[in-house]
């Protein structure tokens, strides 16, 4: 195996791929990171299906807060669903478990970030008094927290 790799490199002059200048062709069924459609999510109605099946605890549901770190405050009546790409193993179990089709797998595998926190997607929902549903408040805005 190593010999064929070296042999190919000597023959072609290419020892590594050209990524990121040239992206590799992904195999069929490749799983990248999951993404959440906040408009479909039922977390405010008590759904925890994705959180329960996620083995590395990449999904967390708790009372909603606004802001990050030391600068955050609870939002009364709000729920917060966090998707942590630093923990996610891209297994797809949450997508299969979601009763609302709110989670989808993508082919995006580029997760480099400057800070650990940048890999956490925080979605805050609060109950709507008008229709009994949920209103999406926000992920943290740029520069917040």
Size of the site for ligand SF4 (CB under 6 A): 26
Q: Cα torsion for 9, 14, 18, 24, to the nearest 10°?
A: -50
Instruction: List binders of ligand SF4 among 97-136 (CB under 6 A).
Output: 97-98, 100, 102-103
CB of 134 to ligand SF4, least distance (A): 10
Comparing CB distances to ligand SF4, the nearer of 41 and 66 is 41
Q: Which residue from 35, 90, 119, 127 is in contact with ligand SF4, where contact means CB under 6 A?
A: 90
Would you call 87 exposed, middle or buried from its count of C-beta atoms within 10 A (0-12, 13-18, 19+)? middle
Residues forming contacts to ligand SF4 in the complex (CB under 6 A) are 34, 36, 41-43, 47, 49-50, 53-54, 56, 58-59, 81, 88-94, 97-98, 100, 102-103
């Amino acid at each position: 195996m190593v010999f064929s790799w070296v042999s190919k490199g000597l023959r072609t002059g290419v020892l590594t791929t050209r990524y990121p200048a040239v992206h590799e062709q992904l195999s069929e069924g490749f799983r990248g990171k999951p993404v959440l459609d906040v408009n479909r999510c039922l977390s405010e109605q008590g759904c925890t299906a994705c959180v329960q099946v996620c083995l590395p605890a990449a999904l967390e549901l708790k009372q909603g807060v606004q802001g990050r770190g030391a600068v955050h405050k609870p939002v009364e009546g709000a729920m917060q669903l966090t998707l942590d790409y630093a923990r996610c193993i891209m297994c797809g179990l949450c997508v299969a478990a979601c009763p609302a089709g709110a989670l989808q797998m993508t082919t995006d595998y580029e997760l480099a970030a400057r800070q650990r926190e940048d890999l956490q997607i925080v979605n805050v929902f609060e109950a709507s008094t008008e229709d009994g549903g949920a209103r999406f408040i926000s992920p943290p805005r740029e520069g917040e927290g």
